[in-house]
């Protein structure tokens, strides 16, 4: 299979599995487990947002949690003032997108390098965290919504059916909505990446100068992908606020930002499915660590991050893909040569070309 077909095959497979899970899980799981799965889906959307801008746009954002938190707070504040949840839901996507656009303008049009990008996004996260964290007094409120400072905002009204304020979504409905959002985000990004715009975005990641010389405004494309990433992270934030009917400044925090990066690194940079796998694995691991006292979760997460950067820099999914690919080629070769007998079954391995032929550049 060539690279193009392979990438579509994997996308189709992922979507098929996703749709099967969407309709299958509510049948086999009780509500409690379904709520657990919903949070994995929320975090997966967040992971995919960074996977897109980092893995395909080449923008290392250390502050993806800023947009996540912004989406969450926007929804909470808007829904407490408006009652009906339709407009707040949209605002939770638009506001982080606008914020990302503003920040992206400063960064890309200031021609700051990747490395500065990381530090600035980190700084912005800290600013937002500090600001929200210091709004604990009763005088800090927007409309009828108290900001709550480090206590967060409790009792956020959850999503209702558009226009019908009393028809609040059940946990099962929220699962459907969240999971559908995840699938739509995945599908949308897949299509975008395959489109002309997506090709320019990826090309700008590989060699920005060449893209500029070909007549494209690389900064504009980067700004677009960064803004889109912010919008998706905002959507995840909104769903997060709905999941627990609660939001607090910790979702802006460094720990949250670090986690998203770890999901992407562990799952595989340059793929969209990898970060979902990484997200589910790490979230599961973190909750397991939380139930016992022997290890500190920071210790384990930090260890995982160092080990992956040093030893498995491509992440789980691409590495597994390579292994499967290699096994497949070996098997084919063995099968092709089998009748001749002259060559033993253990044919020499393919040259390293096989490694380079997959989705990412290292």
Neighbours of 88 (CB within 10 A): 24
Phi, psi of 134 (to 5 degrees): -95, 15
Q: What's the min distance (Å) between Cβ of 174 and other proteins?
A: 31
Distance CA 99, CA 6 (A): 36
Q: Identify whether the C-beta of residue 158 lies closer than 8 Å to the C-beta of residue 174.
A: yes
Looking at the Cβ atoms of 180 and 297, the one nearer to other proteins is 297
361 binds other proteins (CB under 8 A): no
Q: Considering only residues 78, 181, 232, 301, which one is a binding residue for other proteins as defined by CB under 8 A?
A: 301
What pairs with residue 145 in β-bridges? 142
Looking at the Cβ atoms of 2 and 292, the one nearer to other proteins is 292
Distance CA 222, CA 112 (A): 12
Distance CA 349, CA 174 (A): 49
Q: What's the min distance (Å) between Cβ of 302 and other proteins?
A: 3
Distance CA 96, CA 229 (A): 9
Neighbours of 127 (CB within 10 A): 13
Distance CA 226, CA 104 (A): 7
Looking at the Cβ atoms of 110 and 188, the one nearer to other proteins is 110
Looking at the Cβ atoms of 104 and 234, the one nearer to other proteins is 104
Looking at the Cβ atoms of 150 and 331, the one nearer to other proteins is 150
Provide the phi-psi class of 268: left if phi over 0, else alpha when psi is between -120 and 50, else beta.
Answer: left
Distance CA 314, CA 240 (A): 29
Q: What's the min distance (Å) between Cβ of 277 and other proteins?
A: 18
Neighbours of 66 (CB within 10 A): 31
Looking at the Cβ atoms of 24 and 303, the one nearer to other proteins is 303
Q: What's the min distance (Å) between Cβ of 7 and other proteins?
A: 24
150 binds other proteins (CB under 8 A): no
Q: What's the min distance (Å) between Cβ of 63 and other proteins?
A: 10
212 binds other proteins (CB under 8 A): no
Looking at the Cβ atoms of 151 and 296, the one nearer to other proteins is 296
Q: What's the min distance (Å) between Cβ of 213 and other proteins?
A: 21
Q: Considering only residues 265, 280, 282, 317, which one is a binding residue for other proteins as defined by CB under 8 A?
A: 265
Distance CA 132, CA 79 (A): 18
Q: What's the min distance (Å) between Cβ of 261 and other proteins?
A: 7
Residues 267-296 touching other proteins, rule: CB under 8 A, are 295-296
Give the CA diameter of the chain: 85
CA angle, 270 then 276 then 278, to 5°: 85
In sequence order, what are the residues at sequence separation of 6 or more whose Cβ sits closer than 8 angstroms to the Cβ of residue 258?
301, 305
Residues 91-130 touching other proteins, rule: CB under 8 A, are 106, 109-112, 114-116, 118-120, 122-124, 126-127, 130
Q: What's the min distance (Å) between Cβ of 107 and other proteins?
A: 8
258 binds other proteins (CB under 8 A): yes
Q: State the residues that interact with other proteins by CB under 8 A.
A: 60, 106, 109-112, 114-116, 118-120, 122-124, 126-127, 130-131, 133-134, 254, 258, 261, 265, 295-306, 309-310, 313
């Amino acid at each position: 299979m060539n690279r193009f077909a392979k990438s579509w095959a994997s996308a189709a497979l992922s979507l098929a599995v996703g749709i099967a899970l969407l309709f299958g899980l509510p049948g086999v799981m009780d509500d409690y487990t379904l709520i657990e799965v919903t949070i994995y889906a929320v975090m997966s959307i967040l992971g995919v947002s960074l996977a897109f801008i980092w893995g395909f746009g080449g923008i290392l954002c250390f502050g993806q949690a800023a947009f996540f938190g912004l989406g969450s707070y926007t929804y909470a504040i808007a829904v407490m003032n408006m009652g009906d949840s339709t407009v707040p839901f949209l605002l939770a996507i638009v506001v982080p997108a606008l914020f990302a656009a503003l920040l992206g303008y400063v960064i890309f049009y200031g021609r700051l390098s990747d490395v500065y990008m990381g530090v600035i996004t980190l700084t912005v996260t800290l600013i937002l965290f500090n600001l929200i964290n210091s709004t604990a007094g009763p005088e800090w409120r927007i409309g009828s919504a108290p900001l709550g400072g480090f206590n967060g905002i409790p009792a956020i009204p959850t999503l209702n059916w558009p226009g019908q304020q009393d028809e609040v979504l059940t946990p099962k409905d929220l699962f459907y909505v969240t999971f559908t959002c995840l699938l739509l985000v995945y599908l949308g990004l897949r299509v975008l990446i395959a489109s002309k715009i997506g090709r320019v975005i990826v090309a700008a990641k590989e060699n920005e100068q060449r893209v500029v010389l070909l007549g494209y405004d690389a900064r504009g494309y980067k700004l677009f992908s960064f803004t889109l990433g912010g919008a998706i992270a905002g959507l995840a934030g909104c769903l997060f606020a709905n999941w627990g009917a609660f939001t607090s400044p910790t979702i802006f925090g460094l720990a949250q930002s670090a986690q998203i990066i770890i999901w992407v690194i562990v799952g595989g940079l340059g793929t969209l499915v990898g970060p979902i796998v990484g997200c589910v694995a790490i979230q599961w691991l973190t909750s397991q660590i939380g139930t016992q006292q022997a290890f500190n979760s920071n210790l384990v997460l930090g260890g995982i991050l160092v080990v992956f950067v040093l030893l498995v820099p491509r992440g789980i999914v691409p590495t597994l893909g390579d292994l499967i690919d290699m096994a497949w080629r070996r098997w084919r070769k063995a099968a092709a040569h089998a009748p001749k007998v002259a060559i033993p079954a253990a044919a020499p391995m393919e040259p390293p070309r096989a490694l380079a032929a997959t989705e990412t550049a290292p």
